[in-house]
């Protein structure tokens, strides 16, 4: 987020939780686009460690994963010379704005969020207040940076609509403070499905490792997971309603190769699923190879990463304080 470019370029902001090694779903639905957007937008990307606390975490493990997630972003091509990259909890304004927004967030609206319903069913022993107000913290993340676009997968669409609603309500009550952001959801790959159950979203917290490709999986592991991917009892590689497994593989292959579904159908006409799965696995393994190599290299660069944490925090602090100061004035808090 270079100051000089702020007038010309639209702002992008997005975050990812440090809840595990990123999956091919995170990569295709979000990070791959984040990388491409760096050229044309003023981008800010962060590790949402405060959001990760909504689910019980082992403290040492969370610290390790947060570091790892930051390095993974860099390995995926997020360039700290082009984009602002930071850790959410390093920037105080996120937690502060969260409180003020929470006092303007309605219980009924939050109870309707599908992610809250899904996660409370999954973690029935820990339905905490943070899980409930998760979308408010997320809205604050976005609004602090006055983002124009928020690139996310389809599962976050409802949270983006919520962000717009709470921003509009706040602006109506207190006067214009927040820019109203738009979700940026990719046309292809917004919802990559599990390889083990193509009716379910691919998720890094899935207990079955055959359901997801981790972006650090070795090529032979990737090939094996694709070989085992659930499809159907037909043999034709075509994109059609009801062929969830094949549709998912075609989507992945299309994003990896840039080919349309028609072109893919032609390429595999007369071949069985076996050849097709091999081709998808190969294309994914090739795309992920440089990421794995770069991640291994970064693992030895502790001081470099620490330096980036500090630099990112400082810039994010400066940008976020501008909005937070306006908000505090509007709601009637005395500035220190
Ligand atoms: P968890 O399993 O811990 O809930 P997650 O894999 O859903 O995590 P998040 O950190 O919640 O990952 O999401 C990071 C980004 O990746 C978000 O923009 C989200 O929309 C996107 N994303 C997550 N899963 C997929 C998927 N299967 N397909 C496409 N995009 C996805
Ligand atoms: N909830 C998001 C992570 C996230 C985020 C954000 C994404 C937290 N704050 C702000 C975009 C903008 C998720 O992917 N589960």
- The finding on whether 83 has its CB within 6 A of some atom of ligand 2 is no
Determine how β-strand 42-47 pairs with β-strand 11-16.
parallel
Q: In the structure, what pLDDT confidence band is assigned to residue 284 with cuts at 50, 70 and 90?
A: very high
- The finding on whether 138 has its CB within 6 A of some atom of ligand 2 is yes
User: Which pLDDT score is estimated for 3?
Assistant: 54
Which H or E run includes 170? helix 157-174
Two structure tokens written together for 320: 């976020």
Q: How many angstroms does the Cα of residue 138 sit away from the middle of ligand 2?
A: 6
DSSP string, 186-227: -SSSSSPBPSS-TTSB--TT-S-GGG--BTT--HHHHHHHHH
Q: How many angstroms does the Cα of residue 130 sit away from the middle of ligand 2?
A: 14
> Mean pLDDT, to the nearest integer, of 290-314?
97
Percent of the chain with pLDDT over 90: 96
Under DSSP, is residue 23 helix (H, G, I), strand (E, B) or coil? strand
- The finding on whether 51 has its CB within 6 A of some atom of ligand 2 is yes
16, 26, 162, 316: residue to mutate for ligand 2 pocket, most atoms within 8 A of CB? 16
User: Which pLDDT score is estimated for 7?
Assistant: 62
Checking if the pLDDT of 18 tops 90, the result is yes
Q: How many angstroms does the Cα of residue 309 sit away from the middle of ligand 1?
A: 23
User: Which pLDDT score is estimated for 205?
Assistant: 81
155, 186, 188, 254: residue to mutate for ligand 1 pocket, most atoms within 8 A of CB? 155
Q: How many angstroms does the Cα of residue 115 sit away from the middle of ligand 2?
A: 12
Active site residue 201: yes
User: Which pLDDT score is estimated for 4?
Assistant: 53
Of the ligands numbered here, which is closest to the C-alpha atom of 152? 1
Taking alpha carbons only, the member of 125, 151, 149 closest to residue 34 is: 151
Q: How many angstroms does the Cα of residue 149 sit away from the middle of ligand 2?
A: 13
**Ligand 1 binding residues, C-beta < 6 A:** 16-17, 19, 23, 25-26, 28-30, 152-153, 155-156, 190-192, 201-205
Catalytic residue among 119, 225, 243, 277: 119
Catalytic residue among 9, 82, 179, 204: 204
Distance of CA 118 to the CA centre of its chain: 18
Checking if the pLDDT of 47 tops 70, the result is yes
Q: Whose CA is nearest to atom 1 of ligand 2?
A: 138
CA distances from 297 to 20, 291, 304, 310 (A): 19, 10, 12, 20
pLDDT in tens, 56-75: 999 999 999 999 999 999 99
pLDDT in tens, 93-132: 999 999 999 999 999 999 999 999 999 999 999 999 999 9
Q: How many angstroms does the Cα of residue 32 sit away from the middle of ligand 1?
A: 13
Active site residue 119: yes
Other CB atoms within 10 A of residue 56 CB: 9
Checking if the pLDDT of 141 tops 90, the result is yes
């Amino acid at each position: 987020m270079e100051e000089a470019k702020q007038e010309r370029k639209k702002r992008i902001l997005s975050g990812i939780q440090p809840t595990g090694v990123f999956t091919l779903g995170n990569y295709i639905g979000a990070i791959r686009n984040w990388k491409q957007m760096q050229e044309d937008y003023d981008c800010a990307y962060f590790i949402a460690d405060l959001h990760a606390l909504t689910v019980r975490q082992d403290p040492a493990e969370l610290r390790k994963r947060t570091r790892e997630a930051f390095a993974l972003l860099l390995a995926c091509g997020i360039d700290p010379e082009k984009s602002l990259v930071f850790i959410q909890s390093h920037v105080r304004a996120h937690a502060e704005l969260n409180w003020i927004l929470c006092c303007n967030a309605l219980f009924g609206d939050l109870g309707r969020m599908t992610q809250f319903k899904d996660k409370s069913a999954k973690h029935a022993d820990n339905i905490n207040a943070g899980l409930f107000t998760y979308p408010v913290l997320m809205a604050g993340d976005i609004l602090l940076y006055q983002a124009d676009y928020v690139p996310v997968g389809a599962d976050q669409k409802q949270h983006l609509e919520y962000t717009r609603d709470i921003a509009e309500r706040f602006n109506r009550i207190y006067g214009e403070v927040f820019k109203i952001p738009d979700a940026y959801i990719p046309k292809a790959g917004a919802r990559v499905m599990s390889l083990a159950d193509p009716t379910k979203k691919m998720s890094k917290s899935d207990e079955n490792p055959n359901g997801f490709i981790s972006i650090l999986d070795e090529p032979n592991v990737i090939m094996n997971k694709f070989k085992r991917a659930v499809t159907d009892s037909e043999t034709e590689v075509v994109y059609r309603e009801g062929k969830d497994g094949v549709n998912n593989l075609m989507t992945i292959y299309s994003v990896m190769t840039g080919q349309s579904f028609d072109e893919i159908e032609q390429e595999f006409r007369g071949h069985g699923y076996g050849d097709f799965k091999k081709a998808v696995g190969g294309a994914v393994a090739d795309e992920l190879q440089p990421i794995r190599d770069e991640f291994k290299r970064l693992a030895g660069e502790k001081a470099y990463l620490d330096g980036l944490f500090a630099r990112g925090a400082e810039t994010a602090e400066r940008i976020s304080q501008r909005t937070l100061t306006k908000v505090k004035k509007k709601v009637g808090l005395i500035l220190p």
